[in-house]
Amino acid sequence: MKKKVLLMGASGSGKTSMRSLIFSNNPASLTSRLGATIDVEQNHVRFLGDLILNLWDCGGQDSFMDSYLSTQRSTIFQHVWVLIYVFEVGARDAAKDAEYYRDCLDALQKYSPDAAVFLLVHKMDLVVGEKSAVLERRTRELQAESGSVAVTVFGTSIYDETLYKAWSHIVHTIIPNAAVLSKHLTTFARACSATEAILFERTTFLVIATSSSPDGPDGFDLSAARYERTSELIKALKHSCTRMREEFHALEMELPEFTAVLDGMTKNTYVLLIVHDPTIETAALKINIRLARPKFE
């Protein structure tokens, strides 16, 4: 089951940078060395089982954009599952950006009318002043430009966890059995006396599914950004491991407030268990993960 994801937007808006961070485990600091993308670069990432994400990174220079919208129109825009359009927040030529975007949306409506559309207002780290106000204004403008097409807008930056939040959300929409996975994760978390269980994809570390939110009477103080922060931190750790010529396998943390175990679940996933009960041993959690593996394969 191959799902085509189009990544489009003006040249220099940051498409290849986000792709190299999420799919190739490169650090943000190295993205300035990336050259402009020539035509389309394709990536395949196997998610769960037979679900393959087929990412088309479309170089954004005008000559390429013109060609996608004319001679290559049907090739580019057919069988699209998701369109991700990247807008640089401080783009100098916003009018041209908007024109290309509307053309792409027209083509998408014709060849893949059911595709989901995600808009990323990118490089939010460069905004001086109130970020949320800028994002709200851009969101309103982009929704107006999209006419009757339903769009979801995210503010993103390669320098913080917002990128993982947006991409985890996007990937979640293409996983067919996400709700079933969440149900199984909730059962698994309860069986382990865990506060939460979170399933990540192995290469990208994007969140695939989570157990339902803990509803204990004590109300643990869990940050709303915890999933994307974890993706970002583990990716940084994996990168450090590579630099030390070591491979990342698993992680265990025993702190006074909580215990965390991160271990491979299936060929393509990792699971993170967070436990607030001090009597639960990490060894027991690891055995439980091992025993649950066949159920999640």
Q: Which residues contact ligand GTP by CB under 6 A?
A: 9, 11-17, 31-32, 34, 36-37, 59-61, 122-123, 125-126, 157-159
Residue 136 is which amino acid? Answer: E
3-state DSSP assignment of residue 269: strand
Output DSSP code: residue 50: T
CA dihedral 295, 281, 207, 139 (to 10 degrees): 140
Of residues 4 and 122, the one with the C-beta less far from ligand GTP:
122
Give the shortest CB-93-to-ligand GTP separation in angstroms. Answer: 14
Count of residues for the chain? 297
Give the shortest CB-9-to-ligand GTP separation in angstroms. Answer: 6
Give the shortest CB-229-to-ligand GTP separation in angstroms. Answer: 17
Taken in order 200, 205, 208, 210, is the CA torsion positive or negative? positive
Give the shortest CB-14-to-ligand GTP separation in angstroms. Answer: 3
Of residues 161 and 196, the one with the C-beta less far from ligand GTP:
161
Give the shortest CB-22-to-ligand GTP separation in angstroms. Answer: 12
DSSP per residue over 180-233, as a string?
HHHHHHHHHHHHTT-SEEEEEETTT--EEEEPPPP--TT-----TTHHHHHHHH
Of residues 158 and 171, the one with the C-beta less far from ligand GTP:
158
3-state DSSP assignment of residue 85: strand
Of residues 16 and 230, the one with the C-beta less far from ligand GTP:
16
Of residues 16 and 186, the one with the C-beta less far from ligand GTP:
16
